[in-house]
């Protein structure tokens, strides 16, 4: 009996106590945490030798150690990324050794006997175990409209059937050279070998898993020959995932070194003047000493820093395959952050933009600002030196600088605005002597606390009131400012304030309204995003992606185990006050709050938006969804609030109206209040087709409502444009005698000019673009690319109007599934589903052929949709980036 007690109880307890320094067990120095999902106890014990030495052996030992001790030491809890990191680091080291030992004995040159031709372009393809992709790549090259090319393939010691597939190419009429290497040296070394072997005046870099369009080489060659100063040029690249779904575009902006330092937006697929590329130094093979990948990024920055000229062709010329688990994608998880930092340091004396970045975390007390600041800290934003530590009401810490909080309290005290019952700040507070003295102190604190930090964070709820002061000081110090605001239900905030400070509900609500009123006023004109406390607690990963898109210099996606760390940090159990889960009877305060909501009539932001396209069936989908019992109809279908839309009867643009007005329209001018009083949660939305094409709308929507879902309805571009012609003609917006050919031709003259006006004047309403640009408004690829820069793929859906017209039931059911509401086939009634197409004259084959010549882009809508189900499909995004 005694032996069993010693074996089963005393020894495990002793081993565990030793590993946790005793205090965690017997002294209860801190509360235990929950185990993360996917906790691998064997890895945990194997990876940390000190645990084995302490005598920990079992799953229970590992779990208890982590709950009491490992979490606070930020120990890793799962193995895959670690093993992958070790594997890829071994590959990198082996490639460096192989490069150093490489000689002519390690390569076999294989050529075909094609007739000698004058070579204009040498196509360079590096190949390593891409047997499943290389045939499609080579097929696209052979279908090129430019025939005076040669193909140079460098097989980097592939172990699959890649080489045998390439040998089949030797029978083609195009000159082919295969450099078959016996040792693996990496992509930079392979490309440099091929460039030296090339005989053409120009080389085109092509990866073995990508493809080109037929006019790709011809367009690049024409661009290079048109300007003798160009050393390189590139065209827009369409992104697709492995299922064939369209994912956006890259290489879609002119060459700019400053923009490159913010992040690489240009792919490797480009054409170079061969001799100039050799003089520049080709690809840096020593980059492997820092990590795997980013050889293209380094080359583009080197070209830019040497003052070379690079051309950009602003239309799609190739397609890029995005693979989730490619070697570069996996290794980027580990190497990107230090590797990108090394490259930027090499080519820029400062950080991303030549300026540091300050992230200001703002929000009312007890709104989740500390949790949000903790996430930002894990993502890489430096919180400061001397921070206020954790306490009973905030066990994870405040992430607030003691000096900054003391400064803010002192300033608000002097200005008479510190106490909860105090009024707003004086109108002239920024110019008073006390504020000027505080500004000088603030400069010194920023210099002392955040010196040398590329990106840092200042968090204090008092910033709601003092935001203009901080914005002005940081601008004066030449520091970029990004504001991240967080909001929480007023009732939860007031209850939390009462629990912590015993602040009466009435005073708590006044305190809340004072901060939110000041925050809304101070955010006007600033770059900011807003998230909610519910979003942060329930979907921290989505909030993290939203922040990354807004602040690209936070390289959060490349920190190993970040998702796991954030999941451990954001614990739903820390939420002590939830209006949605409260089971107690309604208090007087709750009844008053509900009545206030009823009188306000605001629905908050939209849950989803239908953004277009015009004449594609948005009205039909709108009516179907309005009939759904879980969706609340807006005051009218099209609100035109995110852009300067058409004038109303009073000569007023809705885009100039307030945010409160917009949210009242979503609420149906107060009708939603009855549903809210009865606790009936309904989704709110609107459907404005102009949102799809307007260049500034995606960023506006993202900044104000980053969690909104987007639905797009697409129709055959030619059919949509023809439908617009007859619609505008019947409405009297174009002359009755204007032919459709002249109407289409007019688009060429005005579309680009009007789009530039829209880009440079937020308040500009373009009648011409609204009614007379059918070709530009049918360019879905360009429009979707803007939205995909702001919203991830899981927040965007595409509906094909042809499927909606033919059989709306599966389409509407799929929309309901996407929105998370019940499928409701009974709501369907035939509403406007033919878009009036039966009332207009039919086009003859000859007329249709003539009209097709007006479209300078691919008319296929299928590439934006699932290849297996054309009805409805999520649109995946490209690599996350900021709105632009």
- Convert the pLDDT of each residue in 722-758 to its tens digit: 988 888 888 777 887 888 888 888 887 788 888 888 8
Return the pLDDT at 706.
Answer: 87
Domains in the chain with CATH codes: 2-70 (no CATH), 102-347 (3.90.550.10), 356-595 (3.40.50), 601-874 (3.40.50.300)
Residue 644 binned pLDDT confidence (cut-offs 50, 70, 90): confident
334 has pLDDT over 50? no
Spatial CB neighbours of 544, under 8 Å, sequence gap ≥ 6:
375, 379, 556, 562, 563, 566
Return the pLDDT at 574.
Answer: 58
Segment 629-656 shows an average pLDDT of: 74
Q: Token digits for 62?
A: 């590992």
Return the pLDDT at 66.
Answer: 82
Which H/E stretch holds residue 707?
Answer: none
Q: Token digits for 555?
A: 């390289």
533-569 pLDDT, tens digit each: 888 888 888 888 888 878 877 754 445 456 667 777 7
The dihedral of CA 340, 343, 349, 352: what is its sign? negative
Return the pLDDT at 17.
Answer: 53
451 has pLDDT over 90? no
Return the pLDDT at 85.
Answer: 58
Return the pLDDT at 13.
Answer: 55
* CA distances to 33, 45, 63, 67, 68 from 40, in Å: 16, 9, 9, 13, 16
- Burial (CB < 10 A; 0-12, 13-18, 19+), residue 867, is exposed
Determine the Cα–Cα distance for residues 376 and 388; give it in Å rounded to an integer: 16
327 has pLDDT over 80? no
| Cα angle for residues 387, 388, 394 (degrees, 5° grid) | 130
pLDDT, the chain, mean: 79
**DSSP designation for 391:** B
Q: Token digits for 680?
A: 């009936």
* CA distances to 297, 416, 423, 439, 854 from 431, in Å: 46, 15, 18, 11, 59
Q: What is the DSSP string of 57-92?
A: -SHHHHHHHIIIIITTTT----SHHHHHHHHHHHHH
Least confident interval from 334-338, 376-380, 780-784, 816-820: 334-338
Segment 571-585 shows an average pLDDT of: 53
The larger pLDDT score, comparing residue 321 to residue 588, is at: 321
Return the pLDDT at 259.
Answer: 76
The larger pLDDT score, comparing residue 656 to residue 327, is at: 656
Candidates 137, 263, 232, 124; CA nearest to 188 is 124
**β-bridge partners, 357:** 455, 480
670 has pLDDT over 60? no
The larger pLDDT score, comparing residue 242 to residue 457, is at: 457
Return the pLDDT at 526.
Answer: 80
703 has pLDDT over 80? yes
The helix/strand/coil state of 215 is coil
- Burial (CB < 10 A; 0-12, 13-18, 19+), residue 584, is exposed
149 has pLDDT over 50? yes
Return the pLDDT at 278.
Answer: 93
Query: Do 217 and 144 meet the contact criterion of CB atoms below 8 Å apart?
Result: yes
Q: What percent of the chain has pLDDT over 70?
A: 76
Return the pLDDT at 650.
Answer: 42
Q: Which residue has the tokens 């060659």?
A: 221
* CA distances to 74, 381, 400, 456 from 390, in Å: 17, 19, 10, 20
Return the pLDDT at 198.
Answer: 94
Spatial CB neighbours of 676, under 8 Å, sequence gap ≥ 6:
594, 597, 598
**DSSP designation for 26:** I
Segment 298-315 shows an average pLDDT of: 91
The larger pLDDT score, comparing residue 730 to residue 599, is at: 730
Residue 882 binned pLDDT confidence (cut-offs 50, 70, 90): very low
The larger pLDDT score, comparing residue 559 to residue 519, is at: 519
Return the pLDDT at 545.
Answer: 82
Return the pLDDT at 203.
Answer: 97
Q: Token digits for 235?
A: 């065209």
The larger pLDDT score, comparing residue 717 to residue 15, is at: 717
Q: Token digits for 489?
A: 């239900």
Determine the Cα–Cα distance for residues 496 and 594; give it in Å rounded to an integer: 18
Least confident interval from 183-197, 241-255, 343-357, 488-502: 343-357
105 has pLDDT over 80? yes
Query: Do 646 and 770 meet the contact criterion of CB atoms below 8 Å apart?
Result: yes
The larger pLDDT score, comparing residue 846 to residue 450, is at: 450
Residue 632 binned pLDDT confidence (cut-offs 50, 70, 90): confident
778-810 pLDDT, tens digit each: 888 888 988 988 888 788 998 898 888 888 888
Region class of 651: left (phi > 0), else alpha (psi between -120 and 50), else beta: left
Spatial CB neighbours of 347, under 8 Å, sequence gap ≥ 6:
261, 301, 302, 304, 305
The helix/strand/coil state of 459 is strand
Which H/E stretch holds residue 680?
Answer: none
């Amino acid at each position: 009996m005694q032996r069993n007690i010693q074996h089963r109880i005393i020894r495990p307890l002793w081993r565990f106590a030793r590993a946790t320094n005793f205090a965690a067990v017997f002294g209860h120095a801190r509360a235990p945490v929950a185990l993360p999902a996917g906790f691998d106890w064997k890895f945990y014990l194997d990876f940390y030798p000190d645990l084995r030495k302490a005598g920990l052996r079992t799953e229970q030992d590992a779990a208890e150690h982590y709950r009491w001790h490992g979490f606070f030491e930020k120990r890793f809890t799962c193995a895959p990324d670690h093993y992958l990191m070790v594997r890829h680091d071994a590959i990198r080291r082996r490639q460096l050794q192989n490069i150093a030992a490489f000689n002519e004995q390690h390569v076999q040159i294989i050529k075909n006997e094609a007739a000698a031709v004058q070579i204009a372009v040498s196509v360079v393809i590096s190949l390593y175990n891409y047997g499943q992709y290389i045939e499609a790549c080579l097929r696209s090259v052979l279908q090129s409209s430019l025939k005076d090319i040669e193909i140079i393939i460098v097989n980097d010691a592939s172990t699959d059937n890649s080489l045998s597939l390439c040998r089949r190419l030797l029978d083609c009429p195009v000159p082919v050279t295969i450099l078959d290497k016996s040792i693996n040296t990496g992509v930079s070394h392979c490309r440099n070998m091929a460039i030296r072997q090339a005989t053409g005046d120009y080389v085109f870099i092509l990866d073995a898993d990508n493809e080109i369009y037929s006019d790709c080489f011809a367009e690049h060659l024409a661009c290079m020959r048109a300007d003798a100063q160009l050393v390189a040029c590139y065209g827009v690249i369409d992104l697709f995932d492995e299922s064939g779904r369209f994912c956006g575009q890259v290489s879609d902006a002119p060459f700019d070194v400053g923009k490159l330092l913010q992040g690489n937006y240009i792919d490797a697929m480009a054409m170079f003047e061969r001799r100039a590329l050799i003089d520049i130094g080709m690809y840096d093979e020593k980059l492997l000493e820092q990590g795997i990948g980013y050889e293209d990024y380094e080359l583009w920055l080197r070209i830019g820093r040497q003052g070379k000229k690079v051309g950009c062709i602003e239309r799609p010329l190739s397609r890029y395959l995005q693979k989730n688990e490619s070697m570069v994608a996996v290794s980027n998880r580990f190497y990107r952050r230090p590797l990108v930092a090394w490259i930027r340091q090499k080519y820029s004396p400062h950080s991303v933009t030549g300026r540091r970045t300050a992230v200001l975390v703002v929000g009312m007390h007890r709104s989740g600002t500390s949790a949000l600041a903790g996430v930002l800290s894990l993502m890489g934003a430096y919180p400061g030196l001397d921070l206020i530590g954790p306490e009973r009401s905030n066990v994870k810490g405040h992430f607030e600088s003691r000096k900054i909080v003391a400064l803010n309290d002192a300033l608000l005290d002097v200005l008479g605005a510190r106490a909860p019952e105090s009024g707003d700040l004086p109108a002239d507070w920024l110019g008073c002597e006390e504020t000027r003295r505080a500004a000088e102190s603030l400069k010194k604190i920023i210099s002392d606390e955040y010196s040398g930090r590329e990106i840092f964070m200042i968090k204090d709820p008092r910033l709601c009131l003092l935001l203009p002061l901080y914005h002005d000081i940081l601008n004066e110090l030449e520091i970029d400012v990004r504001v991240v605001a967080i909001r929480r239900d007023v009732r939860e905030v007031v209850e939390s304030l009462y629990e912590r400070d015993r602040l009466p509900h009435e005073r708590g609500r006044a305190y809340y309204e004072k901060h939110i009123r000041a925050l809304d006023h101070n955010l006007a004109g600033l770059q900011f995003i807003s998230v909610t406390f519910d979003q942060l607690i329930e979907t921290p990963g989505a909030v993290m992606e939203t922040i990354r898109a807004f602040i690209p210099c936070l390289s959060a996606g490349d920190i190993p185990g970040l998702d796991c760390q954030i999941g451990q940090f954001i614990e739903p159990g820390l939420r002590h006050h939830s209006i949605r889960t409260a089971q107690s009877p309604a208090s007087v305060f709750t009844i008053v709050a509900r009545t206030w909501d009823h009188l306000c009539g605001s629905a908050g932001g939209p849950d989803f938006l239908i953004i277009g396209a015009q004449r594609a069936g948005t009205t039909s989908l709108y009516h179907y969804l309005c009939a759904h019992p879980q969706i609340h109809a807006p005051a009218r279908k099209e609100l035109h609030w995110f852009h300067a839309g058409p004038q109303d009867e009073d000569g007023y643009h809705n885009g100039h109206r307030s945010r409160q007005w917009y949210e009242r329209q979503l609420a149906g001018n107060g009708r939603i209040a009855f549903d809210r009083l009865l606790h009936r949660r309904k989704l709110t939305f609107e459907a404005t087709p102009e949102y799809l094409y307007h260049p500034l709308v995606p960023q506006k929507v993202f900044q104000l409502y980053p969690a909104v879902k987007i639905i797009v309805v697409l129709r055959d571009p030619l059919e949509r444009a023809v439908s617009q012609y007859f619609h505008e003609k019947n409405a009297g917006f174009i002359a009755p005698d204007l032919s459709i050919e002249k109407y289409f031709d007019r688009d060429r003259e005005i579309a680009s000019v009007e789009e530039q006006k829209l880009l440079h004047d937020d308040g500009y309403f373009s009648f011409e673009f609204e009614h007379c640009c059918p070709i530009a408004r049918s360019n879905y690829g360009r429009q979707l690319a803007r939205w995909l820069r702001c919203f991830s793929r899981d927040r965007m859906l595409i509906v094909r109007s042809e499927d909606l017209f033919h059989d709306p039931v599966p389409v509407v059911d799929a929309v309901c599934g996407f929105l998370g509401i019940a499928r409701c086939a009974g709501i369907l009634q035939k509403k406007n589903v033919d878009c009036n197409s039966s009332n207009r004259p039919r086009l003859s084959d000859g007329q249709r052929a003539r009209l097709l010549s007006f479209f300078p882009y691919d008319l296929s809508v299928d590439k934006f949709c699932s290849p297996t189900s054309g009805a409805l499909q999520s649109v995946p995004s490209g690599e996350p980036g900021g709105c632009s």
